[in-house]
Amino acid sequence: MSIVELQQVSRHFTKGKQTVEVLDNIDLTIEEGDFLALMGPSGSGKTTLLNLIGGLDQPTAGSIEVAGQQLVGLSSRKLAQWRARNIGFIFQFYNLLPILSARRNVELPLLLTRLGGGQRKRNADVALTIVGLADRARHKPGELSGGQQQRVAIARAIVADPRILVCDEPTGDLDRETADEILDLLELLNRKHGKTIIMVTHDPKAASHARHTLYLDKGNLVREAA
Amino acid sequence: MKSFPLIWSNLFRRRVRTFLTLFSIVAAFLLFGLLRSIAGAFEMGVNVAGVDRLMVSPKYSMVDGLPISHLAQIEAVEGVDTATHMTWFGGTYQNPINFFPKFPVQPRFYFDMYSEYIIDPLQLDEFERIRTAAVASAELAEEFGWQIGDRIPIEGDIWLRGDGSNLWEFELVGTYRVGDEDTDFPSFLFNYEYFDEARVPETQGIVSNFMVRVSDPDQAAEVSARIDAQFENSINPTRTATEEEANRQFAAQVGDIGLIMNSILSAVFFTILLLTANTMTQALRERIPELAVLKTLGFTDRRVAFLVLLESVLLCGIGGAIGIALSGIALQALGPELEGFLGQIEISAATTLSGVGIALLLGVIVGLNPALSARRLQVVEALRK
Q: Which residues contact B120 (CB under 8 A, 6 or more apart)?
A: B174
Predicted local distance difference test score (pLDDT) of residue A65:
96
> Is B288:B296 a contact under the CB 8 Å cutoff?
no
Q: CA-nearest residue of chain B to A111? A: B2
Task: Encode pLDDT of B44-65 as tens digits.
Answer: 544 333 468 899 999 887 778 8
Rounded distance between C-alpha atoms, residue B6 and residue B195, angstroms? 71
Whether B250 has a pLDDT exceeding 70, the answer reads no
Q: Which residues of A touch B299 (CB under 8 A)?
A: 80, 84, 111-112
Phi, psi (rounded to 5 degrees) for A31: -80, 150
Whether A199 has a pLDDT exceeding 80, the answer reads yes
Closest of A25, A27, A34, A38 to residue A3, by C-alpha: A34
- Those of residues 83-122 in A touching chain B at CB distance below 8 A are 83-85, 89, 91, 95, 97-100, 104, 108-109, 111-112, 117, 120
- Burial (CB < 10 A; 0-12, 13-18, 19+), residue B270, is exposed
Angle at A181 between CA A177 and CA A184, to 5 degrees: 135
Closest of B377, B383, B7 to residue A94, by C-alpha: B383
**Which member of B9, B13, B299 has the closest CB to residue A112?**
B299
Whether residues B295 and A80 touch (CB distance < 8 A) is answered with yes
Task: Encode pLDDT of B169-210 as tens digits.
Answer: 999 999 998 776 555 578 899 999 999 999 999 889 999 999
Whether A135 has a pLDDT exceeding 50, the answer reads yes
Predicted local distance difference test score (pLDDT) of residue B48:
35
Partner B contacted by A195 (CB < 8 A): no
Predicted local distance difference test score (pLDDT) of residue A15:
82
Angle between the A76-86 and B288-297 helix axes, to the nearest 10 degrees? 70
Strand partners, B136: B175, B188
- Give the mean model confidence (pLDDT) for residues A87-115: 94
Whether residues B296 and A56 touch (CB distance < 8 A) is answered with yes
Whether residues B293 and A100 touch (CB distance < 8 A) is answered with no
Phi, psi (rounded to 5 degrees) for B146: -75, 140
Residue B183: CB atoms within 10 A of its CB come to 15
Predicted local distance difference test score (pLDDT) of residue B99:
84
Q: Where are the beta strands (DSSP E) in chain B?
A: 53-58, 66-67, 80-86, 102-105, 117-119, 133-137, 151-155, 167-178, 188-191, 206-207, 209-214, 238-242
Closest of B57, B50, B99 to residue B242, by C-alpha: B50
What band does B337 get if pLDDT is binned at 50, 70 and 90?
low
Whether residues A51 and B380 touch (CB distance < 8 A) is answered with yes
Whether residues B9 and A81 touch (CB distance < 8 A) is answered with no
What band does A22 get if pLDDT is binned at 50, 70 and 90?
very high
**Which member of B297, B380, B383 has the closest CB to residue A84?**
B297
Whether residues B297 and A108 touch (CB distance < 8 A) is answered with yes
> Is B97:B337 a contact under the CB 8 Å cutoff?
yes
For B25, B169, B339, B370, the CA distances from B37, given in Å and listed in that order, are: 18, 35, 12, 34
pLDDT, averaged across chain A: 93
Whether B8 has a pLDDT exceeding 80, the answer reads yes
3-state secondary structure of B29: helix
* Minimum distance, in Å, between the CA of residue B14 and any CA atom of chain A: 10
* Minimum distance, in Å, between the CA of residue B271 and any CA atom of chain A: 29
**Which member of B10, B13, B293 has the closest CB to residue A95?**
B293
> Is B324:B32 a contact under the CB 8 Å cutoff?
yes
In a 13 Å sphere around the CA of B205, the CA atoms on its Cβ side amount to: 7
What band does A23 get if pLDDT is binned at 50, 70 and 90?
very high
Alpha-carbon Rg for chain A, nearest whole angstrom, is 17
Q: Within chain A, how many helices (H) and strands (E) appear? A: 7, 10
Whether residues B383 and A91 touch (CB distance < 8 A) is answered with yes
Rounded distance between C-alpha atoms, residue B3 and residue A223, angstroms? 45
Q: Which residues of B touch A23 (CB under 8 A)?
A: none
Phi, psi (rounded to 5 degrees) for B47: -85, -10
Partner B contacted by A46 (CB < 8 A): no
